[in-house]
A = this chain, B = another copy of it.
Amino acid sequence: MLATLAPRIERVAGKLPRRVFVLTSPEIWALWGGTFLESFREEPIVLFLPAGEKYKTIASVDKLLRQMVRAGGDRGSLLIAFGGGIVGDVGGFLAAIFMRGIRYVQVPTTFLSQVDSSVGGKTGVNLPEGKNLVGSFHHPLAVFADVDVLGTLPGRELRAGLMESVKAGIIRDRGLVRYMEENADAVLNRDTKALEKVIAASIRVKADVVNKDERESGLRMILNLGHTVGHAIEQVTKYKVLLHGEAVGWGMIAALYLGVKRRALTRDQAMRLERLVHRYADLPPLKLSVKRLAAATGADKKNVGGVRRFVLPMGIGNAGVVEDVTQAELEAAISYMLSHAKGPRH
């Protein structure tokens, strides 16, 4: 797919404009830049964003926008975001605000970005006060996901990305939950057929939910299962310790605990799902303060009007949103999570 990208883009965007920008990371470009360029008659202008959440900032956006102006970018320019979720989020945001909006396409290279962040139109960056607090809704013209690229993805990143697939199963697709339980070895060994099955099912859940509610006024919120506590962990650890998917994995464990307390699912169901999280993710112990994590959930933008919203699994393949989680419940869920690094106790 990657070697034939230019004509594929032209099929959705028409003739390529005078200035085509590629936002990528140095690592991805070193591995795949040659293949990427094969189908372009005129070489696009390559912009680099160093890898890591710490570069997902307004300062990076500022610098990149200036590079685009100096390279002759204009309103007709097209941007290709070629990389993982951070490249996709920043690239989409650049496209959203450069000259008040230009067209872009996503070419995600990680499992996580293929199944999750490239779909849905959310773009943006972090503030020191919290993750993804700044951004736009700006949909790509198209998403081109090449499963072959995942061959070079580090195992830890694959496992972290699979947390979003586990999440997709829990909230909306019990068939996916069962498939992931029964085919864990094949998926983790990157069997192409197994990966395609999981990726396709995950994208289907995401696209289905987003189509019904782009702006997260209702249904889309269920995609945030595990994210309230997950974001709090990332924030408290300054985005340096865990991958996003790992933080979401932890957050799902807290959410499963709360789900049981609220009788939204049975203890057996929760144990089964907690095992699934641990089967895929490698979650070493976290030494963090319960109070500090609980406080950090407050700055999460999923809270509207000061109400702390929380996504709870409801059985397997369904989820709902509650708004009345108390401080005590939240702290109990976080305590449970912190004591369950090595899998469910039973």
> For residue A99, which residue of chain B has the nearest CB?
B301
Quick check: A62 and B58 within 8 Å, CB to CB?
yes
Quick check: A101 and B137 within 8 Å, CB to CB?
yes
A262 within 8 A of B: no
A304 within 8 A of B: yes
Q: Which of B62, B76, B122, B299 is close to A100, meaning CB atoms less than 8 Å apart?
A: B122
> For residue A123, which residue of chain B has the nearest CB?
B100
Quick check: B304 and A74 within 8 Å, CB to CB?
yes
Q: How far, in angstroms, from A96 to B299 measured CA to CA in the complex?
A: 19
User: Contacts of A75 on B, CB cut-off 8 Å?
Assistant: 301, 304
Q: How far, in angstroms, from A260 to B70 measured CA to CA in the complex?
A: 33
A154 within 8 A of B: no
Quick check: B99 and A133 within 8 Å, CB to CB?
yes
Q: How far is the CB of A20 from chain B (nearest CB, A)?
A: 12
User: Do most interface residues of chain A lie in helix, strand or loop, or is the interface mixed?
Assistant: mixed
> For residue A72, which residue of chain B has the nearest CB?
B306
A156 within 8 A of B: no
Quick check: B305 and A76 within 8 Å, CB to CB?
yes
Quick check: A100 and B129 within 8 Å, CB to CB?
no
User: Contacts of A135 on B, CB cut-off 8 Å?
Assistant: 97, 99-100
Q: Count the A residues whose beta carbon is within 8 Å of the partner chain — how many?
A: 38
User: Contacts of A72 on B, CB cut-off 8 Å?
Assistant: 306
Quick check: B98 and A134 within 8 Å, CB to CB?
yes
Quick check: B304 and A97 within 8 Å, CB to CB?
no
Quick check: B301 and A66 within 8 Å, CB to CB?
no
A65 within 8 A of B: yes
A136 within 8 A of B: yes
User: Contacts of A303 on B, CB cut-off 8 Å?
Assistant: 74
Q: A75-B301, A306-B18 are in contact. Are A100 and B66 (CB under 8 A)?
A: no
0 or 1 for each of A58-77: is its CB under 8 Å from B? (1 = yes): 11011001100110101110
A130 within 8 A of B: yes
A17 within 8 A of B: yes
Quick check: B136 and A124 within 8 Å, CB to CB?
no
Q: How far, in angstroms, from A24 to B7 measured CA to CA in the complex?
A: 49
Q: Which of B18, B97, B128, B299 is close to A136, meaning CB atoms less than 8 Å apart?
A: B97
Q: How far, in angstroms, from A100 to B74 measured CA to CA in the complex?
A: 23
A45 within 8 A of B: no
A127 within 8 A of B: yes
Q: How far, in angstroms, from A123 to B136 measured CA to CA in the complex?
A: 13
User: Contacts of A301 on B, CB cut-off 8 Å?
Assistant: 74-75, 99
User: Contacts of A128 on B, CB cut-off 8 Å?
Assistant: 66
Quick check: A129 and B99 within 8 Å, CB to CB?
no
User: Contacts of A127 on B, CB cut-off 8 Å?
Assistant: 62, 65-66, 69
Q: How far, in angstroms, from A97 to B301 measured CA to CA in the complex?
A: 12
> For residue A300, which residue of chain B has the nearest CB?
B74
> For residue A302, which residue of chain B has the nearest CB?
B75
Q: Which of A10-45 contact B (CB under 8 A)?
A: 17-18
0 or 1 for each of A84-101: is its CB under 8 Å from B? (1 = yes): 000000000000111111
Could you pull out 6 A-B pairs where Cβ atoms are within 8 angstroms?
Answer: A58-B58, A96-B136, A98-B133, A98-B134, A100-B122, A100-B135
| 8 interchain residue pairs of minimum CB distance | A69-B129, A76-B305, A99-B301, A58-B62, A76-B304, A100-B135, A75-B304, A97-B134
